[in-house]
Amino acid sequence: MHKLDNIFNVDLDTFEQQVIQASHQKAVLVDLWAEWCSPCRVISPILEKIAAEFHDTLSIAKVEVDEGDNMKLAGHYKVRGFPTLILFINGEEAGRFSGAKPLSFIREFIDEHCCH
């Protein structure tokens, strides 16, 4: 699959601008994941499909929790397991789920919270 411009990596330093501030223009789904996490690898290609499908209304920000100070973000948002996906709209958390979910679940989650 080709690289989509609405799926990108963020870290502790860029989170405020690329997620919180950006979510005032377009919903941002944050994927908190870890390299060692099997379900994280399972959900990654599904998120690429979601990014393509909701290209105009949704961005996906990926946070590798084991890099740099990124675990502080996981702690701040009280993440208990990986992957955890948190949807931000207008600077606020609008919903979240954990674990590798099928495409249909994620599509319904997004439709329910935003981005029809």
List the catalytic residues: 37, 40
User: What residue type is 89 in one-letter code?
Assistant: I
Which of 91, 17, 7 minimizes the C-alpha distance to 53? 7
* Block residue for tokens 């005032």: 24
Long-range contacts of 104-109 (CB under 8 A, 24+ apart): 106/46, 106/47, 106/50, 107/50, 107/53
| CA–CA distance, 9 with 32 (Å, rounded to integer) | 10
